[in-house]
């Protein structure tokens, strides 16, 4: 990563990296803005020790953000199809 950044003229101190696993500590350590996202226990401890940002997102937030809009869209589509079907059936009679 460092070699690629140097070759491309990137300043790693200005870069961001995100991870949830201690396996990525070397990558996170190489950038100026490391963020531990829903980190495993080892990464959480390392992030705390190094004053890195830690972001925790619960499943409830994910459901609200993803599933509810999808459910609303599906309900709207189903209602639209039902109305369209009813109108088409009425016109055929």
**pLDDT tens, 7-32?**
999 999 999 999 999 999 999 999 99
User: Using CA of residue 6, residue 11, residue 50, residue 44, what is the dihedral sign?
Assistant: negative
Whether the pTM exceeds 0.85: the reply is no
Domain span holding position 19: 1-56
What tokens does 12 get?
Answer: 């790693």
Q: Do 2 and 47 belong to one domain?
A: yes
Distance between CA 8 and CA 37 in Å, rounded? 27
The pLDDT assigned to 68 comes to 72
Q: Do 39 and 75 belong to one domain?
A: no
Q: Do 48 and 72 belong to one domain?
A: no
Q: What are phi and psi of 89, to 5 degrees?
A: -65, -40
Q: Could you tell me the CA-to-CA distances from 68 to 59, 78, 79 in Å, in that order?
A: 13, 15, 16
Q: Which residue has the higher pLDDT, 51 or 88?
A: 51
């Amino acid at each position: 990563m460092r070699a690629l950044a140097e070759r491309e003229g990137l300043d790693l101190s200005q870069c961001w990296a995100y991870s949830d696993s201690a396996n990525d500590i070397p990558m996170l350590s190489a950038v100026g803005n490391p963020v531990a996202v829903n980190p495993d226990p080892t990464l959480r401890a390392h992030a705390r020790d190094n004053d890195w940002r830690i972001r925790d997102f619960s499943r409830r937030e994910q459901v609200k953000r993803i599933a509810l809009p999808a459910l609303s869209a599906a309900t709207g589509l189903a209602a639209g199809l039902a109305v369209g079907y009813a109108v088409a059936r009425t016109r055929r009679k």
